[in-house]
Amino acid sequence: KAGVTQTPRYLIKTRGQQVTLSCSPISGHRSVSWYQQTPGQGLQFLFEYFSETQRNKGNFPGRFSGRQFSNSRSEMNVSTLELGDSALYLCASSLATPDRGNRFYGYTFGSGTRLTVV
Protein backbone atom coordinates (compact mmCIF):
# COMPACT_ATOMS: atom_id res chain seq x y z
CA LYS A 1 0.00 0.00 0.00
CA ALA A 2 1.57 3.26 -1.12
CA GLY A 3 2.10 5.91 1.52
CA VAL A 4 1.55 9.64 1.36
CA THR A 5 3.51 11.10 -1.55
CA GLN A 6 4.72 14.68 -1.57
CA THR A 7 6.36 16.41 -4.48
CA PRO A 8 8.79 17.92 -4.92
CA ARG A 9 11.09 16.82 -2.10
CA TYR A 10 13.22 19.94 -2.25
CA LEU A 11 12.63 23.47 -3.55
CA ILE A 12 14.69 26.62 -3.61
CA LYS A 13 12.81 29.83 -4.35
CA THR A 14 13.54 33.52 -4.28
CA ARG A 15 11.76 36.04 -2.08
CA GLY A 16 8.61 37.33 -3.75
CA GLN A 17 8.04 34.23 -5.85
CA GLN A 18 5.20 31.80 -5.36
CA VAL A 19 5.31 28.04 -4.92
CA THR A 20 2.90 25.12 -5.24
CA LEU A 21 3.40 21.89 -3.32
CA SER A 22 1.58 18.65 -4.07
CA CYS A 23 0.33 15.80 -1.91
CA SER A 24 -1.19 12.46 -2.89
CA PRO A 25 -2.84 10.77 0.10
CA ILE A 26 -3.07 7.07 0.84
CA SER A 27 -5.69 5.45 -1.36
CA GLY A 28 -9.08 5.68 0.33
CA HIS A 29 -8.10 8.51 2.66
CA ARG A 30 -10.38 11.50 2.16
CA SER A 31 -8.89 13.86 4.73
CA VAL A 32 -5.67 15.75 4.01
CA SER A 33 -3.91 18.17 6.32
CA TRP A 34 -0.87 20.36 5.91
CA TYR A 35 1.68 21.31 8.56
CA GLN A 36 4.68 23.60 8.59
CA GLN A 37 7.69 22.45 10.60
CA THR A 38 10.49 24.78 11.64
CA PRO A 39 13.18 24.35 14.31
CA GLY A 40 11.80 27.22 16.36
CA GLN A 41 8.04 26.58 16.15
CA GLY A 42 7.81 22.84 15.69
CA LEU A 43 4.81 21.51 13.77
CA GLN A 44 2.21 24.17 13.09
CA PHE A 45 -1.17 23.40 11.53
CA LEU A 46 -1.92 25.06 8.19
CA PHE A 47 -5.22 23.61 6.95
CA GLU A 48 -7.34 20.49 6.76
CA TYR A 49 -9.45 19.36 3.82
CA PHE A 50 -12.16 16.75 3.58
CA SER A 51 -14.06 15.98 0.39
CA GLU A 52 -12.69 19.07 -1.37
CA THR A 53 -13.81 21.38 1.45
CA GLN A 54 -11.51 23.25 3.79
CA ARG A 55 -12.66 22.25 7.27
CA ASN A 56 -10.18 24.10 9.39
CA LYS A 57 -7.44 26.67 8.97
CA GLY A 58 -4.49 27.57 11.17
CA ASN A 59 -3.13 30.98 12.06
CA PHE A 60 -1.21 31.69 8.88
CA PRO A 61 -1.51 34.74 6.60
CA GLY A 62 -3.63 34.67 3.49
CA ARG A 63 -0.52 34.06 1.39
CA PHE A 64 -0.92 30.42 2.35
CA SER A 65 -3.74 28.68 0.54
CA GLY A 66 -4.69 25.18 -0.44
CA ARG A 67 -7.19 23.04 -2.22
CA GLN A 68 -8.27 19.45 -2.55
CA PHE A 69 -9.36 17.72 -5.72
CA SER A 70 -12.08 15.13 -6.27
CA ASN A 71 -9.48 12.32 -6.12
CA SER A 72 -8.41 13.61 -2.66
CA ARG A 73 -5.07 14.87 -3.94
CA SER A 74 -4.19 18.22 -2.45
CA GLU A 75 -2.04 21.21 -3.26
CA MET A 76 -0.90 24.11 -1.16
CA ASN A 77 0.29 27.42 -2.52
CA VAL A 78 2.40 30.10 -0.92
CA SER A 79 2.49 33.45 -2.68
CA THR A 80 4.94 36.31 -2.24
CA LEU A 81 7.46 34.13 -0.45
CA GLU A 82 9.35 35.47 2.55
CA LEU A 83 12.58 34.22 4.10
CA GLY A 84 10.59 33.04 7.11
CA ASP A 85 8.61 30.65 4.94
CA SER A 86 11.65 28.38 4.74
CA ALA A 87 10.50 25.17 6.38
CA LEU A 88 9.62 21.53 5.96
CA TYR A 89 6.03 21.34 4.72
CA LEU A 90 4.32 18.12 5.68
CA CYS A 91 1.17 16.61 4.30
CA ALA A 92 -0.80 14.01 6.22
CA SER A 93 -3.78 11.90 5.26
CA SER A 94 -6.39 10.18 7.36
CA LEU A 95 -9.53 8.08 7.20
CA ALA A 96 -11.10 10.69 9.48
CA THR A 97 -14.61 11.82 8.78
CA PRO A 98 -16.37 14.90 10.18
CA ASP A 99 -16.47 14.33 13.88
CA ARG A 100 -19.67 12.70 15.09
CA GLY A 101 -18.33 11.45 18.40
CA ASN A 102 -16.18 8.78 16.79
CA ARG A 103 -12.53 8.17 17.50
CA PHE A 104 -10.00 9.92 15.36
CA TYR A 105 -7.67 7.40 13.78
CA GLY A 106 -4.69 9.62 13.27
CA TYR A 107 -2.61 10.79 10.39
CA THR A 108 -0.03 9.21 8.15
CA PHE A 109 2.57 11.76 7.14
CA GLY A 110 4.51 12.10 3.95
CA SER A 111 8.25 12.76 3.85
CA GLY A 112 7.65 16.46 3.31
CA THR A 113 8.83 19.17 0.94
CA ARG A 114 11.86 21.12 2.12
CA LEU A 115 11.35 24.71 0.96
CA THR A 116 14.25 27.14 1.11
CA VAL A 117 13.59 30.81 0.36
CA VAL A 118 16.66 32.86 -0.52
Partner 1 sequence: EDQVTQSPEALRLQEGESSSLNCSYTVSGLRGLFWYRQDPGKGPEFLFTLYSAGEEKEKERLKATLTKKESFLHITAPKPEDSATYLCAVRGTGFQKLVFGTGTRLLVSP
Whichever of 8 and 98 has its CB closer to partner 1, that residue is 98
Q: Which of residues 73-102 bind partner 1 (CB under 8 A)?
A: 88, 90, 92, 98-99
105 binds partner 1 (CB under 8 A): yes
CA 72, CA 52: separation in Å to the nearest integer?
7
- CA dihedral over 41, 54, 65, 33, signed as positive or negative: positive
Whether 35 and 46 have beta carbons less than 8 Å apart is answered as yes
Q: Which residues bind partner 1 (CB under 8 A)?
A: 4, 6, 33, 35, 42-43, 45, 48, 50, 55-56, 58, 88, 90, 92, 98-99, 103-112, 114
